[in-house]
Amino acid sequence: MSDYKLTYFDFDGGRAEPIRIAFHAAGIAFEDNRISFQEFGETRSSMRFNAVPLLEIDGAQVTQSNAIARYVGKLADLYPSDPLQALYCDEACGAIEDLTHYVVQTFGLKDDDLIAARKVLTETRITTFLKGLEELLTRGGGEYFADGQLTIADLKVFMQTRSLLAGTLDHVPTTIVQECAPGLVEHEARVSGDSRVVAYYATRA
């Protein structure tokens, strides 16, 4: 059995959370190395691409959140074996990464600059991606994005939807998901109630 060490920021959410859940669903022990933003700044030069999440497999570094999620997803039976369904899964995962890229661009802004940037983000990128993701969910049958069952795509979208519903992003209305893509609100509830997700968060209580 390989030794796994997953490094990411010290909070429940973000790019590493689907990977953490998938590890738990697979019953695979891993070191959940949670670091502060200060620690990240001090150690990022030792990380490939100077970014997290970072997975070490028997000491060897692997990067890129979607690649890691696919790998662990396969171990947890959370990634489709059918090529077309895998494509659908990847499309949703890629969309979340694209949206996250735009959201991160507003980090570090303050006061009126932040308000203005988040207003534009809300009216453009977030709205566009939420509507597009709901279309992908509908294509998948309305309950899951691919394979007719929970996959890493569902976990990644779930994390983004949950964040928006919780008001994690200042100056982005918590009603935006319901207004733009009500199907994603139902999807968030479905994923949060999945026994594997419930079991993971029980370990965090």
Walking along the chain (205 residues) 10 residues at a time, the average pLDDT comes out as 95 97 98 97 95 97 97 98 98 98 96 98 98 98 98 98 97 98 98 98 94
The confidence score (pLDDT) of residue 1 equals 78
The confidence score (pLDDT) of residue 197 equals 98
* Domain coordinates in residue numbering, the chain: 4-77, 83-194
Closest-CA residue to 152 (of 10, 9, 15): 15
The confidence score (pLDDT) of residue 26 equals 98
CATH number of 83-194: 1.20.1050.10
CA distance 10 to 31: 13
Under 8 Å between Cβ of 72 and 22? yes
The confidence score (pLDDT) of residue 205 equals 86
CATH topology of domain 4-77: Glutaredoxin (3.40.30)
pTM over cut 0.75 = yes
